[in-house]
Each structure stands twice: as C-alpha cells, then as structure tokens.
Amino acid sequence: MVELLEIAPLDQLFSHFRYQLTLRSTEGNYRSLILFRLSTSQDVPNYDQERGEEETQLEKESDPSARLNTNGRQLYAMEATCPHLGAELSHAEIEDCGDSVVAVCPWHRYDFDLRTGKSETGLKACTFAVYVNVDDRGVEMVSLETPNEGSGWRLVELRPVSEGISCVMLLEFADPPRLSSPSIKKDTQIECTPLVEDEPVVPLENPPKTLMQWGVLILNTPNPTLKVERTRHAVHLFRTGKLKSIGHKSANAPRPPEVPSRDASWMRNLETDPTKVKHRKNKAVMLHALANIEQWAIDLAWDIMVRFGPLHPDIPPAFFHDFTKMALDEAKHFSFLTTRLSAISPSTPYGSMPVQASLWESATTTSHSLRARLAIIHLVHEARGLDVNPGTIDRFRRAGDIDTVKAMEVIHSDEVTHVTSGHRWFMWICEQQGINPEDGGVVRAFREEVKKNFRGEIKGPFNVEARETAGMTRDFYENLRGEFTEFYPERFDLLFQIHPHRETTNESSYNIGYLITYAVSSAV
C-alpha cells in the first residue's frame, strides 16, 4: 500500500509555481524534493474526466507512472538535485517535449521527464506521485507518495521558490513579508541600500569563478550592504549553473580568513560586553543588535562551506545547496532588520550603535572540526534562537510594531530550516565516522561536542515543538552543560584590535539566545 504524506491545502499552493520540500523519516533520513505546479489557473478541468475513464485506466495498467497527476492539477514532485552531478533543480527550465514535460538541469542541460524521471541520457531522477483529495472538511489537500526507504516520513520544510527577474544589483529574496514601510517596494522586493562607491558586486579584476572563491570574497567584504549583494549574486550564479564549479575539490581552493572583515564604523562601536548598551531602552537598539547577529550569520554560512568543503571532498552537493540557502536567508534577515531600523530610527543606521563579536569565538573554537561546528553553531546557538524568537515576536506585537512582527515571523520560520540543515549534516558526518544513530550514538556524539566546545549550561525554556520539527529531540539538549574553559586571545587580535586587553565576558554572552533575549528585554 502506498504511504501518502499530506503537504498542504491546494489553495495555499497557488502563490508560486515551485516549492522546495524537505522530508525526514523516523530513522533520520532526509530527502529534498521540488514540487512543480504547471497550471496557470486554479480552475483546471479533471484530467481523468477529459480523457475518459476507460482510456485512463488502460494507461494506469500499462504505465504505473500514470498515477501521477490524475487529478489534472499538473502537480509534479521530483528529487531536488540532478542525479548527474547534484545540481539544484529548483531553477530548472521547464520545457514541452512531445507528449511529456521535462525539467532541464541548469548545469549541463540534462532533461528529466516530470512524470517518469527518465532522461534521454539514460539517467533517471526519482519522482513521486502527487494526489489531490478532498478531506472531511471539504478542503482539497495535496499529498504525495513517500520515499521507499525509511518510514514515518514527515514534512519539515515547505518553501516557495522565487522566480523573479534577477540582476547584478538586485536579486529577489524568497518571499519577504509585505511591509508597509516606504522603504519596501510593493512587489515585496527589498530596496537596496547604496553600495560601496567604486566597488562593484563583481570585482573587475579576477572575478570569482567558483563557489569557494565567492565565499572567501564575501568573508573578506567589510561593508555589510556589499556583503549582502554579493551573497545574492553568488547564490544566483550557483543555482542557475553560471559558476565553473563548486571548487572544493581543487588543490588550490582558497582558504577563509581567520576573522571576517568589518568596516570602520562597525569597529569603532565594538564593545566587549553587550550589557554596556543597556541604558538605551528602545526598539532601535534591539533591531541593531539582531542585525549584528544576522551579519555574523551570513559569514558563518559561508565559512562552513569554504573552511570544511575542501576538507571533505566527498561531501554531497546538497551540503552546498543547504548552506548557500542559509547564507541567502541570513542576508535577507539582515536586510529586513536594517530596513526596519531605518524606518523606526533614521538617525541611527546600522553600525552607529555599540555591537559585539562574541559569536565568532564559537566559530574559532570549532574551526578544527565540521562535526563540532555543526553541533555548536547550528544545534546550540541557532537552536537557542528558536527558543527565544517567539518571545521577541510577542514583544514587538505588544509594542504595536506589526511590520517587524511580520519580518520576525519569516526569520523564525527560516531559522527552523537552518537547525534542520544542521541536524541533517550532523547526522551525515556521524554516519561517515561510523556512528550508529539507532543505539543513541548521534546523541552521544552531540553531547560530547557540547561538553568539549561550549561554555556553560544549555539553558531553557526550550521551544520543544520547533526543536523537534528540526530533528532535535529532548535527549539532545536536556541536562547538558559545556565544560569548555580554554581561551586563545591571540586568535582575536584582528577582531579586537581596538580592545587588545579584552576582558572575558560571562559564559552567557557567548550564547546567541542570550544576546537576543537581552536585546529584547532591554529595548521593548
């Protein structure tokens, strides 16, 4: 019997033509799919009724793939990466090919039938039957056939894929909120802030040709606006097959900087202790603090790719798909928050208030190990963000700032997928190291990394539901305390050049959740 997984009400899928789906099984297996909706009208006639019941039944008996789209809604589900070299298919071209419709990979033009997955090259992509059934409430619900491997599959992400026109100066972010601020365009695109004078998005000399080269360039870009634009551009090139390669298998892959560059205005306002801004009790302080965290998050997404990609040349291309998406999300979040900061307090643009750099210590202490980086940054810091985001949203709502509430709701939804990616690749690295998840080995490995590389208690209260959606069950984080005590001030000379005698702050200041909680409590 075919196991079906309910995706969403049909009428909720009319806003876009493509959706990214992430599924996870009870065993911890992940599958990424693309749901294509080819119909241009909500009123699509029933496919079976048009062709006749007898003709349709004969086709089903001779070709099992005909189970797909018998509802006439032209819904197709296919694995999200090309079986040739793992290119992302979210931006594949859709073409009519005789009696079939094919998705054409943007990297090498391999074509795959959306119904059968077959290609003229001899390769075959996995496809999954899509159904539309009316539930007990009379609502048309979209469901799809689950993968054969694994059981208890659940949907952990349903993300629309934006297909807007892109260019060097402005690339559309995926589904930003409809804000009423004059600085937000009505077509939901974020208005670009001025770029650095005479410094283009694409360098005029020796422009990057691989994803690794773009990542290092972005890490070495001090201006945050230019960092955002370069992130948008690099991810677009990667998704549309415009890059020469990922570049992580090259013997000459570039190395990331020890500390990402920051512009002069940021450095002038660098504080060693975030509590020193507590006297400035307003929303602008909080937005500025949150934007600062998102700027670091952009760098963290690029750093994990360029630092560990060359060390793991056999890592699947999906790793880079997940973390380029994360980098793009963080750039979007930074733009949301700085836009709101500009609307609320035009006299205090980003970079004009005290900022901190505590988060990068965790990046430095985990620079030796992909497993440690995934555990501490993505399954401790980002997971803590899931705990405190609802409280942050509620405070903005009580303050009557509905535009910021909308932005923060998008941010929170995105962050759940980031923790999901952290969990997915932590599971992968554990598998490579021969760790068995069935006997609790993955949980033990995570707790071991926290004890070695994190300082202090993993504090609640926990957003159990959001954490569980991302794959983190209670046994990962309850009753857990990090025992890390070492500190290497020489690693921070570049970052703290204006504070050469930096005092070690208390253990909580290194927790992203603490930083958000503090900003909220002192500002709203």
Q: Looking at the structure, tell me whether residues 124 and 253 fall in a common domain.
A: no
- Residue 30, in any domain of the structure: yes
Q: Looking at the structure, tell me whether residues 110 and 210 fall in a common domain.
A: no
- Domain-terminating residue out of 108, 128, 160: 160
Asked whether the beta carbons of 226 and 192 are under 8 A apart, the reply is no
Q: Looking at the structure, tell me whether residues 112 and 231 fall in a common domain.
A: no
User: What dihedral do alpha carbons 391, 397, 400, 401 form, nearest 10°?
Assistant: 80
User: How sure is the predictor about 196, in pLDDT bands with cuts at 50, 70 and 90?
Assistant: low
Q: Which residues of 407-424 are buried (b: 16+ CB within 10 A; e: fewer)?
A: bbbbbbbbbbbbbbbbbb
The pLDDT > 70 percentage for the chain reads 77
Q: What is the 3-state secondary structure (H, E, C) of 363-393?
A: HHHCCCCHHHHHHHHHHHHHHHHHHHHHHHH
Please determine, for residue 188, whether its predicted confidence score (pLDDT) is greater than 90: no
- Domain-terminating residue out of 97, 131, 160: 160
What is the CB neighbour count within 10 angstroms for residue 256? 22
- Residue 505, in any domain of the structure: no
Average pLDDT over residues 78-89: 90
Q: Provide the pLDDT for residue 275.
A: 54
Please determine, for residue 335, whether its predicted confidence score (pLDDT) is greater than 90: yes
Q: Looking at the structure, tell me whether residues 290 and 392 fall in a common domain.
A: yes
Please determine, for residue 130, whether its predicted confidence score (pLDDT) is greater than 80: yes
User: How sure is the predictor about 62, in pLDDT bands with cuts at 50, 70 and 90?
Assistant: very low
Q: Looking at the structure, tell me whether residues 20 and 135 fall in a common domain.
A: yes
Supply the CATH number for residue 34's domain.
2.102.10.10
Asked whether the beta carbons of 381 and 513 are under 8 A apart, the reply is yes
Question: How wide is the angle at C-alpha 494 spanned by C-alphas 490 and 497, nearest 5°?
Answer: 95
CA–chain centroid gap for 27, Å, is 22
Q: Provide the pLDDT for residue 498.
A: 32
- Residue 187, in any domain of the structure: no
| Nearest residue to 123 (alpha-carbon basis) of 96, 103, 148, 101 | 103
User: How sure is the predictor about 274, in pLDDT bands with cuts at 50, 70 and 90?
Assistant: low
- Residue 188, in any domain of the structure: no
User: How sure is the predictor about 46, in pLDDT bands with cuts at 50, 70 and 90?
Assistant: very low
Partners of residue 24 on adjacent β-strands: 30, 154
- With a CB cutoff of 8 Å and minimum separation 6, the contacts of 16 are 37, 160, 161, 162, 163
Q: Looking at the structure, tell me whether residues 206 and 153 fall in a common domain.
A: no
Q: Looking at the structure, tell me whether residues 151 and 212 fall in a common domain.
A: no
Cα 228 to Cα 212: distance, rounded to the nearest angstrom: 16
What is the CB neighbour count within 10 angstroms for residue 317? 17
- Residue 503, in any domain of the structure: no
| Nearest residue to 339 (alpha-carbon basis) of 162, 166, 182, 522 | 182
Q: Looking at the structure, tell me whether residues 248 and 391 fall in a common domain.
A: yes
Asked whether the beta carbons of 162 and 187 are under 8 A apart, the reply is no
Around 88, how many Cα atoms within 13 Å sit in the side-chain half-sphere? 28
Q: How far apart are the first and last CA of the chain?
A: 54
523 token code pair: 């500002």
Partners of residue 270 on adjacent β-strands: 355
Q: Provide the pLDDT for residue 271.
A: 62
User: How sure is the predictor about 469, in pLDDT bands with cuts at 50, 70 and 90?
Assistant: very high
Q: Looking at the structure, tell me whether residues 314 and 450 fall in a common domain.
A: yes
- Residue 499, in any domain of the structure: no
User: How sure is the predictor about 486, in pLDDT bands with cuts at 50, 70 and 90?
Assistant: low
- Domain-terminating residue out of 160, 179, 211: 160
Average pLDDT over residues 294-305: 97
CA distances from 229 to 106, 198, 334 (A): 22, 14, 11
The one-letter code for the residue type at 293 is: I
Burial label for 250, CB within 10 Å (0-12, 13-18, 19+), is: middle
Length of the chain: 524
- Residue 286, in any domain of the structure: yes
493 token code pair: 């000379």
Q: Looking at the structure, tell me whether residues 99 and 210 fall in a common domain.
A: no
- Residue 251, in any domain of the structure: yes
- How many structural domains compose the chain? 2
Mean predicted lDDT score pLDDT of the chain: 81
Domain range enclosing 326: 200-489+514-522
Q: Provide the pLDDT for residue 487.
A: 52
Cα 145 to Cα 151: distance, rounded to the nearest angstrom: 12
Q: Looking at the structure, tell me whether residues 132 and 208 fall in a common domain.
A: no
Asked whether the beta carbons of 75 and 37 are under 8 A apart, the reply is yes
Partners of residue 140 on adjacent β-strands: 134
Q: Looking at the structure, tell me whether residues 280 and 408 fall in a common domain.
A: yes
The one-letter code for the residue type at 430 is: C
Average pLDDT over residues 108-120: 92
Which has more pLDDT, 99 or 209? Answer: 209
Q: What is the 3-state secondary structure (H, E, C) of 273-324?
A: CHHHHCCCCCHHHHHHHHHHHHHHHHHHHHHHHHHHCCCCCCCCHHHHHHHH
